[in-house]
Amino acid sequence: MEQTGCAHKKNSQGGKENHPGLMQQNPNDPKGKRKQLQTVTNISQHFSKRKRSASVPKQELYSMSNQPRGHCLIINNFYFETNTSLGKRLGTDKDKDELVKVFKKMQFEVEVEDNLNASDMQRFIKQFAEKDHAQMDAFVCCILSHGEKGTVLGVDGKQVEIRDLLRPLAKCCTLAGKPKLIFIQACQGNVCQEAVGMADEQDDGTEEGTEKENAQTATFQSIPIEADFLIGMSTVESYRAFRHIQNGSFYIQELCEQLKIGSTRKEDIHSIMTKVNRIVSSKVFRGSKQMPEVRYTLTKKMVLPMMSPD
């Protein structure tokens, strides 16, 4: 506008379990000699091989070794032209400042563009798609604006299809095979989601829904199926997203918080986005709910770089 330490094995003949310490007969031993099964004295030894096999191979992880990690473009539309009848997006600067802080600490080169019209939004993203990202690990774009179903709005009130914004990035050769993270704070429609089965939740009166904060989950329907994209939307199709006029939007503020926590714990981006979904969806905003959505075509795990100290 958040066993036991003994290994058991089935006996194929009797269906019984063999326990460490029992005597087992060797069927190939004519003398019927028995030998004692080896007991497990150290559970860490018993599971050591399993632990090693569960670790993620390097080829299944996106590389996050370069510095800077990549470019981060933030489009922050606050003041809309008077002839659009769209209000100022009060609180959006709070979102911008938090995004700048988080991605700078993750060693991204951050650039902020304020109050872009529709054509300028397309132009700036195209310029970034034409950059040489060969020595970069990833690309991030955050769009904070009004919007309508399947689009974001420039400050001139004109719509831009999200698929049109992403197409240049998908064609960028030096970003091929690298994760491209897109976060959009905007409504997906004008309907307020109802709360269902949340008897204990209350609105504390401090949060305010915006009139149009359009999140483009519908665009997920029309975004080309390109590899290595993650698109985080502040709400699902047809519904509003909410923004506090002083504290910023609930989605972006929670996203930044979970990025900070997740990076210190070396969590992958999918786990972080799931937590964002859970925490935002658990809140009530002036009697309404908000359900973020994330879609991705990532082909590897992305573990975000550790936040640099203050």
The catalytic residues are 146, 187
User: Distance between CA 154 and CA 110 in Å, rounded?
Assistant: 21
**To which residue do tokens 């872009």 refer?**
116
DSSP annotation of 244: E
Q: 113: closest CA among 102, 101, 128?
A: 128
Tell me how far CA of residue 125 lies from CA of 4, 143, 182, 287, in angstroms. Answer: 55, 11, 11, 37
Are the CB atoms for 63 and 137 separated by under 8 Å? yes
User: Distance between CA 19 and CA 22 in Å, rounded?
Assistant: 6
Are the CB atoms for 106 and 69 separated by under 8 Å? yes
DSSP annotation of 98: H
